[in-house]
């Protein structure tokens, strides 16, 4: 499903060159749920950005479903992000001006889905994360756990094959963290979604199928 061949990412400023990822080789199979662990600044989020086609590697090859996408046009990459990938961020990144429903609808605005169908899919996704009673609320009116559930609903509304979760429980207490983890596990089990999750929490990592570890931009396990 996801393959990284000798992927290196270097951030350059005028005076400093930082190697964020150093010759990473990784394969994630379809339907797999893996966790990525490592200390802060070891390149975990950079890995997700590159897998999620939000950033390009400085060197190496990234393939999703056997195809290399990073050399494609912005429009094609945007389509892949829209149809194949769903993102969950540590700090939720919800659009504060929009209600829960409108936030969840965002991915569907960028594909040909009629208004009625959009409403149905959004309602389903919100129901799946147990927030139907908050559908008309705004992010500022929700708790952290509820915000993350909205973010999960947004990530799954378009039924993507891959979910990339960047420390999805990082800003949540243990109870909400466990709830989010349960949702992710059920997405993996019920929908067959391939999930790559960055986490600092060993307990959560244990609940995934496989854990890979990073240190200073290199994969150490």
Sheet holding 2-12, edge to edge: 17-28, 2-12, 59-64, 67-68
Instruction: Give the relative orientation of helices 115-128 and 144-156 as an angle to the nearest 10 degrees.
Output: 130
Among residues 15, 16, 114, 206, which is the contact residue for other proteins, using CB under 8 A?
114
Residue 78 φ/ψ, nearest 5 degrees: -60, -40
Token reading at 93: 């990144």
Q: Is 60 a residue that touches other proteins (CB under 8 A)? A: no
Q: List residues bridging with 219 in a β-sheet.
A: 214
Select the span of 43-51, 63-71, 183-191, 207-215 touching other proteins (CB under 8 A). 43-51
Residue 181 φ/ψ, nearest 5 degrees: -60, -40
- Nearest distance from C-beta of residue 194 to other proteins, angstroms: 17
- Nearest distance from C-beta of residue 97 to other proteins, angstroms: 4
Among residues 93, 200, 207, 213, which is the contact residue for other proteins, using CB under 8 A?
93
Q: Is 67 a residue that touches other proteins (CB under 8 A)? A: no
Q: Is 102 a residue that touches other proteins (CB under 8 A)? A: yes
Cα separation, 132 vs 106, whole angstroms: 17
Token reading at 125: 């996704």
Among residues 23, 72, 79, 185, which is the contact residue for other proteins, using CB under 8 A?
79
Sign, Cα dihedral of 136, 139, 145, 149? positive
- Nearest distance from C-beta of residue 3 to other proteins, angstroms: 20
Among residues 13, 15, 40, 115, which is the contact residue for other proteins, using CB under 8 A?
115
What is the SS3 assignment for 145? helix
- Nearest distance from C-beta of residue 54 to other proteins, angstroms: 4
Q: Is 109 a residue that touches other proteins (CB under 8 A)? A: yes
Q: Is 123 a residue that touches other proteins (CB under 8 A)? A: no
- Nearest distance from C-beta of residue 116 to other proteins, angstroms: 9
Cα separation, 126 vs 104, whole angstroms: 8
What is the SS3 assignment for 115? helix
Please say which residue, 137 or 207, places its beta carbon nearer to other proteins.
137
How many C-alpha atoms does 174 have within 13 Å on its Cβ side?
Answer: 3
Q: Is 98 a residue that touches other proteins (CB under 8 A)? A: yes
Q: Which residues bind other proteins (CB under 8 A)?
A: 45-46, 49, 52, 54-55, 74-75, 77-79, 81-83, 86-87, 89, 93-98, 102, 105-107, 109-111, 114-115, 154, 158
């Amino acid at each position: 499903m996801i393959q990284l061949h000798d992927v290196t990412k270097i951030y350059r400023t005028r005076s400093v060159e930082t190697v964020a990822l150093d010759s990473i080789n990784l394969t994630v199979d379809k339907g797999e749920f893996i966790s990525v662990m490592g200390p802060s600044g070891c390149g975990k989020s950079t890995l997700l950005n590159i897998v999620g086609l939000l950033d390009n590697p400085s060197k190496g090859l990234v393939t999703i479903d056997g195809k290399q996408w990073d050399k494609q046009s912005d429009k094609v990459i945007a389509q892949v992000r829209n149809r194949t990938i769903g993102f969950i961020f540590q700090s939720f990144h919800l659009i504060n001006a929009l209600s829960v429903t409108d936030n969840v609808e965002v991915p569907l605005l960028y594909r040909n889905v009629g208004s009625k169908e959009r409403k149905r899919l959004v309602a389903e996704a919100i129901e799946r994360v147990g927030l139907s009673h908050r559908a008309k609320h705004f992010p500022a009116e929700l708790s952290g756990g509820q915000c993350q559930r909205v973010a999960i609903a947004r990530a799954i509304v378009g039924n993507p094959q891959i979910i990339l979760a960047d420390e999805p429980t990082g800003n949540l207490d243990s109870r909400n963290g466990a709830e989010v983890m349960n949702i992710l596990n059920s997405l993996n089990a019920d929908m067959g979604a391939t999930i790559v999750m960055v986490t600092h929490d060993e307990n959560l990592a244990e609940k995934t199928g496989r854990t890979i570890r990073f240190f200073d931009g290199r994969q150490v396990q």
